[in-house]
Amino acid sequence: MSQLCVLNRAILVSRCTERLKQRSLWFQRQQRLHVEGPNPAAAACSKRRSKSWLWLCGLGLGVAVAVGLKTNREKANVPCGDGENLRIGGYEAAIEASRELLKRIQVGTRDDAEVGAPGLVVGVSVNGHQVWSEGFGYSDLENRVPCGPTTVMRIASISKPLTSAAAALLCEEGKLDLDAPVQKYVPEFPVKQFDGQDVTITPRLLLSHLSGIRHYEKDGRKVREKAKRPLKPPAQETEEEKSSAESKPNTQENSAQAKKEFEQEEYYLKDNFENVIQALDLFKDDPLIYKPGTTFLYSTHGFTLLSAVMERASGQRFLDLMMSMFYELGMDHTVAEQNDPIIYHRSRFYHVNKKGRVVNCPYVDNSYKWAGGGFLSNVEDLLLFGNALLYSYQVAQLQDPKNLLPGFLKPKTIQELWEAVDRTESNSNKDHLYAQGWMVVKEKHKYGQCKRRRCFVSHTGGAVGASSVLLVLPTDEALDGQTLPRGVVVTILMNVQGVGLKSTAFKIAHEFDKSI
C-alpha cells in the first residue's frame, strides 16, 4: 500500500476521532448541568444517554475504519498515490484487456483450479511506476490460499538476468575480467578440449551461452541432431507447439521437446550442494557439445560455472554477493530457494499429470543452479529490477542527464548487457538473439506504412512447478531527460510448469503502451 493510502486512512481516522471527542465533551457538559441541578433522575437519564451516544459513536468509528480497510483490500491491485502515472483512470481498458489475455492461458479459478493452471500473479509498471499487480487462482490449492501481489514463486531462469547484473557490477569494480579464461578464477574446472585441441571458455561466453557447455541433455549427438532439424512453417504449427516454443524459445522447438525437457533427471535433483564450487562436479568432466564461441547452446550449467567465477573474483560467497545486490535494489522478497527457512508468502508448486489433473510437484533442491534458476521472488521485486535496468539504459542514451541520478549500472555496462551478441540466434526463433543474460529482439521496420517491430528485452523461465517471464519494452519516443525510465515492464509468475508466457507478456505490454 502506498504512503498516500496510509495518509488518507490516517486523516479519516483522525477526523472521526476528533468528532468523537467533541461529542463526548458536549455530553460531559450536559451531564454536569443535570447533576448540579435539582433533578437527580434527569441527571441519571442524561448519563445513560451519554454512555449510549459514546457507544454508538465508537461503533460508527469502528465501522468506518473497517470499511476503509475492506475497500483497500479490495483495491489492493489498484495503485494508490500521487502522480499522473499512478492514477488508475488511464489504465482500466489495458487492465481489462490483459485480464482477458490471461484467461486464455487457463488461469485457475475457484471451480477449475484443480484441472488448469492453479495460480498466477501479474505485475505491470509504466514509466517506472507500478500501475497494476494482481493474483489469480491459488498459491496453495490444498489450503485455498489465494495468489496476490506479494506471493513468492520460483522465477526459474529469470535468475540469469539477476546474475548477469551482479557480474556487471563486478566488472565495473575491476574485479572480473570477462575475457579471461575461467581457470584464472576457478582452477578446479579443467581446461576443455574440442576435436583434440585445447579451447578457452571465458565469462563473456558463459553470459551469452556460447561456451559449448551442455544443458540438461548429456548426449551431445542428440543435441546436435535436434539443432539441425528445420523449423516447421508457421502454418503447420499447432497452438500447443507455438505456446511451448514461446515459453523458452532458445531451448524448446515444440511441445514434444518441452515434455522431454522435464524428463531430464537433473531437473529433479534432491542433493544439497554446500557451495557453487561443489556443484561443478555435475558437469565439469563432461565433453563440450560445441566449440566455444561458435554456436549458441542455452546452458544453465554454464551459469553455475559463472557463479563460481564470480565467487572467486569477489571474494564473497555467491549468495552473499547476490543478497547485497538485492538489498541495494530494494528487492526485499528475492532470495535463494532453500527448504529450511521460513519464507513468507511462498507458493507451493504443481504440474499437470497425464490425466490432466493438477498434482503436487516432487521436492527438489536447486542448490546446484542458484545462478541459472534457483531464486524465489515476487512480481513487485521483479518490476523494481526491470525498471532499475531500464533507467540505466535510458540515462546512458542522454547527452546531458542534467540533474538525474546515475543509473544502477554505468552507461557502457548496460549497453553491453542489452547488446545482442553475434551467433546467438537459435533454431527455434531466428528473431530472438541473446545478449548477456537477456534475450533481445531488435527493432525492425522493413517497409513503409507496414508493421514495425519494437525493440524489447526479456527472459522466460521454466522449472519444476514454475513458469515465468520478465519483459521490458522501452518507449520508442525521444527521451527528454526529465522523467525516466520511460516504457513498460511486465512480469508474470505461475506455480505450474510448462506454460508459455512471453507472447502474453508482450501483448500486455502493448496494451499498456497504448494507454500512455
Q: Collect all residues with Cβ–Cβ distance below 8 Å to 459 and sequence separation of at least 6.
A: 157, 158, 160, 161, 437, 438, 439, 469, 470
What's the one-letter identity of residue 412? K
Q: Kindly report the number of other CB atoms within 10 A of residue 361's CB atom.
A: 18
> Are the CB atoms for 303 and 206 separated by under 8 Å?
yes
Helices within 174-219 (DSSP H only)? 203-207
The one catalytic residue in 157, 255, 347, 392 is: 157
CA-to-CA distance for 144 and 78, rounded, in angstroms? 23
Active site residue 157: yes
> Are the CB atoms for 497 and 153 separated by under 8 Å?
no
Q: At what angle do helices 300-314 and 318-329 cross, to 10 degrees?
A: 90
Task: Compute the Cα dihedral for 377, 103, 261, 142 and give only its sign.
Answer: positive
For residue 376, report the phi and psi dihedrals to the nearest 5 degrees. -110, 150
> What's 341's DSSP letter?
S
Residue among 274, 474, 242, 251 at smallest CA distance from 368: 274
> Are the CB atoms for 155 and 376 separated by under 8 Å?
yes
Q: Collect all residues with Cβ–Cβ distance below 8 Å to 462 and sequence separation of at least 6.
A: 156, 157, 247, 248, 258, 261, 262, 468, 497, 498
Q: Kindly report the number of other CB atoms within 10 A of residue 264's CB atom.
A: 12
Q: What are 101's three cell numbers?
A: 489475455
Mind telling me the catalytic residues? Answer: 157
